[in-house]
Amino acid sequence: MFEGFRVLFIEDDPPVRASLVQTLELSGLEVQAFGSAELALPHISAQMPAIVITDVRLPGMTGLQLLERIRAIDAGMPVVVVTAHGDISMAVGAMRAGAYDFIEKPFAPERFVDTAMRALEKRQLQVALDELRAQLAQRSSVESVLLGRSQVMQDVRRLILRLAPTSADVMVHGETGTGKELVARCLHEHSPRHERNFVAINCGGLPETLLDSELFGHEPGAFTSAAKRRIGKIEHANGGTLLLDEIESMPVSMQIKLLRILQERKIQRLGSNEELPVNVRVVAATKEDLLQLSQQGKFRADLYYRLNVAVLKLPPLRERREDIPLLFEHFVELASARYGLPTPERRPEHLRELMAHSWPGNVREMRNAADRFVLEAGAVNLTDGTEDIAPTPLAQQMDLVEKALIDEALRRCHGRMQDVMQQLGIAKKTLYDKLHRHGIDPERYR
């Protein structure tokens, strides 16, 4: 559960030190013990995967003095102080100085182990978040827009970069909130058309009577209120990209006209007989199964087959849970900057809630949850709580985060194992054990 993390334990009484080290090790924790703060201090560094448990009364440097030194090295490292019975004022002083928790002697072994595990859980989450922040800062291009280290998102980004330079029309399929418009914008920005207009129109957001004028434009006098010429969306997108969102809601009469435009690349403004050539890439976005709709007679089959050439399928968030920590961290940072508010501390219970939720609203819902988290200064109930979903065990959550971090390191290092070991700060055997456990093949990154 805490593989790669350890407890630095400082206790000057040898028999007590040996007994408590054994207690921690029997619980599966890795321990490094010291008889004084001076001996422990050289082993403490910033960002290290460890916590510190120290007795307050030590020869030479005291536990409180050690706490102060640790806070100067890494303010986020959890430090648990062990105080004598009745020494409440010292415990209060330690908490004010930044200690994670305190344990008063005498204590039960179970209390000692439970406190150590809670501190390790906090440190494990913090280290993962720090690494995610660093990776977010290094991202560029399409990766900075379509976040995710899951294999399915890597495949989506690769297909976008493959399709973008071409002139092919593209159909984007995905549930509400999966980022279909973001994909369309990525296709546009990475294409030779990026200097021309990107035009988006929601086919379900306009009355049928306005669609003709909205798409094709009109000449003066084309209808009663047409006082002057209006350039339609398709003509405005000439040389660029036209996104037709919710295309499944487009009226059948308009589907016929769209099919003709896709085939001939010409339009006529309402009230005009002149055909205008247009060079436009069409991206059609849908949350429905258009083949099924065409079989039911609700969508033209010929238009479906005309669009169903280059298809990008966006996975729902519940099918790429390993991306949840990265996405939430990204949206929290954006919300903090947008509202000018401090970034609340992320606690293990937050991650557990995020990983347990099914995210029916997908990435859009997560962005709203991040906004609420910032505005409410770290709200515990991030989701609406209406679902009866079994919580994902912490070990499984951290496995997903660990797998994502290894995937990212392999990708950045192009599968060079020595570089990956150095970047992750782990030994060769540990890395290969993790690759085997997560089913990761490093050869596909080379």
In a domain, 145, yes or no: no
Q: pLDDT band at residue 412, thresholds of 50, 70 and 90?
A: confident
In this predicted structure, the answer to whether residue 65 has a pLDDT above a threshold of 60 is: yes
d(CA 289, CA 408): 33
Q: Which of 131-145, 301-315, 344-358 has the highest mean pLDDT?
A: 301-315
d(CA 401, CA 128): 7
In this predicted structure, the answer to whether residue 389 has a pLDDT above a threshold of 50 is: no
Q: pLDDT band at residue 2, thresholds of 50, 70 and 90?
A: confident
User: How many structural domains comprise the chain?
Assistant: 3
Question: pLDDT tens digit string along 180-217?
Answer: 999 999 999 999 999 999 999 998 877 777 788 888 88
Q: Which amino acid is at 48?
A: M
Q: pLDDT band at residue 51, thresholds of 50, 70 and 90?
A: very high
In this predicted structure, the answer to whether residue 388 has a pLDDT above a threshold of 60 is: no
Predicted confidence at residue 85, as pLDDT, reads 65
In this predicted structure, the answer to whether residue 393 has a pLDDT above a threshold of 70 is: no
In this predicted structure, the answer to whether residue 386 has a pLDDT above a threshold of 60 is: no
In a domain, 1, yes or no: no
d(CA 439, CA 124): 22
Same domain, 179 and 307: yes
Question: pLDDT tens digit string along 19-42?
Answer: 999 999 998 899 999 999 999 999
Q: pLDDT band at residue 380, thresholds of 50, 70 and 90?
A: low
pLDDT average, residue stretch 4-29? 92
Q: How many alpha carbons fall within 13 Å on the CB side of residue 346?
A: 26
Predicted confidence at residue 24, as pLDDT, reads 93
pTM of the model: 0.61
In a domain, 103, yes or no: yes
Structure tokens at 196: 């021309």
From the list 154, 148, 179, the residue with the least C-alpha distance to 362 is 179
Task: Find residue 245's DSSP bridge partners.
Answer: 202
Question: pLDDT tens digit string along 142-194?
Answer: 777 788 878 899 899 999 999 999 999 999 999 999 999 999 999 999 999 99
Predicted confidence at residue 188, as pLDDT, reads 94
Predicted confidence at residue 191, as pLDDT, reads 92
Tell me the residue range of the domain where 17 lies: 6-136
Same domain, 180 and 298: yes
- Domain end marker among 313, 345, 368: 313
Torsion of CA 96, 99, 105, 110, to 10 degrees: 140
DSSP H helix total and E strand total for the chain: 18, 14
Structure tokens at 67: 């706490």
Same domain, 158 and 298: yes
Same domain, 259 and 178: yes
In this predicted structure, the answer to whether residue 387 has a pLDDT above a threshold of 50 is: no
From the list 335, 400, 320, the residue with the least C-alpha distance to 369 is 335
In this predicted structure, the answer to whether residue 103 has a pLDDT above a threshold of 60 is: yes
Phi then psi for residue 199, to 5 deg, are: -120, 125
State how far the alpha carbon of 40 is from the alpha carbons of 52, 65, 413, in Å.
9, 13, 34
pLDDT average, residue stretch 230-252? 92
In this predicted structure, the answer to whether residue 98 has a pLDDT above a threshold of 50 is: yes
Tell me which of 24-33, 216-225, 388-397 is least confident. 388-397
pLDDT average, residue stretch 393-399? 63
Same domain, 200 and 106: no
- Domain end marker among 90, 108, 136: 136
Same domain, 284 and 231: yes
The CATH number covering residue 192 comes to 3.40.50.300
Same domain, 302 and 322: no
- Domain end marker among 83, 112, 136: 136
Give percent above pLDDT 90 in the chain. Answer: 47
Predicted confidence at residue 33, as pLDDT, reads 94
Average pLDDT along the chain? 86
In a domain, 144, yes or no: no
In a domain, 141, yes or no: no
Same domain, 394 and 337: yes
More confident residue, 204 or 381: 204
Same domain, 249 and 165: yes
